[in-house]
C-alpha cells in the first residue's frame, strides 16, 4: 500500500471510529500504533511511561475520532494528539518531582544533637577559635573573610586592598597553619 493509499485507509478507519465502530478502531491501532508509540517514546524517554502514555493517546483518539475531518491528514491529527499527550506527561512528571523535592526540603529537620555531640561541637569550636589566634595578623582576616563571610579570593583582595596572589598565599598558608594546630589539638598537644 502506498503512502497516500495508506493515509486514505487510515482516514476512512478514523471516520468509522467516530461512529463508534470498534473494528475500525482496531484497524487504526494496527496501522498506527508503532509510529505513535515511537513518537511518544522519543518525547517521554521512559519505556514503561511511554507505553502508558500511548494507551492514553489511543483512548483519546477513540473518544475524539468524531472530530477528525476526513479531508485532513490522519497522521497529522493523530501525531498531534500523541505529541501533546507526551509533552503533558513529561511536564506532569517534572511538576511532581519539583513538588516532592520542595516538600522534602521543607519537611526535613536535622536531628538535634545529643548532649555528648553538643559538647564535642562546642569543644571543636573552641579549638578553632584558639587556633585562629595562632594565625598571623595578615592571615587571619583573609581566612575569616573567605570562610566566615563567604567572599571569593578576588573579593577578599579588594576588601583588604591587597594583591590577589598575596591573598591566595595568606589563605593557603593560614589553612596549613590551622590544620597543623587542629591536628596537634586532637593529639592532645599544645597550640604551636
**pLDDT-derived band at 188, boundaries 50, 70, 90:** low
Pairwise CA distance, residues 99 & 97, whole Å: 5
Question: Where exactly are the structural domains of the chain?
Answer: 1-99, 113-191
Q: Using the predicted structure, report yes or no on whether residue 163 has a pLDDT greater than 90.
A: yes
| pLDDT, position 187 | 75
| pLDDT, position 1 | 62
Q: Using the predicted structure, report yes or no on whether residue 192 has a pLDDT greater than 70.
A: no
pLDDT tens digits, one per residue of 117-158: 777 878 888 888 888 888 899 898 988 888 888 889 999 899
| pLDDT, position 190 | 47
Task: From the options 1.10.1740.10, 3.90.950.10, 3.90.105.10, 1.20.120.1690, give the CATH code of 1-99.
Answer: 1.10.1740.10
CATH 1.10.10.10 fits 113-191, yes or no: yes
pLDDT tens digits, one per residue of 84-121: 999 999 999 999 888 888 877 777 676 777 778 777 87
Model-level pTM? Answer: 0.54
Amino acid at each position: 500500500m502506498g503512502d497516500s493509499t495508506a493515509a486514505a485507509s487510515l482516514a476512512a478507519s478514523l471516520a468509522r471510529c467516530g461512529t463508534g465502530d470498534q473494528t475500525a478502531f482496531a484497524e487504526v491501532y494496527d496501522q498506527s500504533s508503532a509510529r505513535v508509540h515511537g513518537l511518544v517514546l522519543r518525547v517521554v524517554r521512559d519505556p514503561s511511561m511511554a507505553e502508558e502514555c500511548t494507551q492514553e493517546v489511543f483512548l483519546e483518539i477513540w473518544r475524539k475520532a468524531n472530530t477528525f475531518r476526513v479531508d485532513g491528514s490522519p497522521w497529522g491529527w493523530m501525531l498531534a494528539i500523541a505529541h501533546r499527550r507526551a509533552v503533558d506527561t513529561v511536564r506532569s512528571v517534572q511538576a511532581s518531582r519539583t513538588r516532592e523535592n520542595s516538600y522534602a526540603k521543607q519537611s526535613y529537620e536535622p536531628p538535634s544533637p545529643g548532649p555528648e555531640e553538643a559538647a564535642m561541637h562546642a569543644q571543636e569550636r573552641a579549638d578553632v577559635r584558639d587556633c585562629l589566634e595562632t594565625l598571623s595578623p595578615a592571615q587571619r582576616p583573609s581566612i575569616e573573610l573567605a570562610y566566615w563571610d563567604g567572599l571569593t579570593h578576588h573579593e577578599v583582595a579588594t576588601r583588604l586592598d591587597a594583591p590577589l596572589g598575596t591573598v591566595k598565599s595568606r589563605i593557603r598558608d593560614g589553612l596549613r597553619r590551622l590544620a597543623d594546630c587542629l591536628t596537634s589539638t586532637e593529639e592532645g598537644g599544645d597550640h604551636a
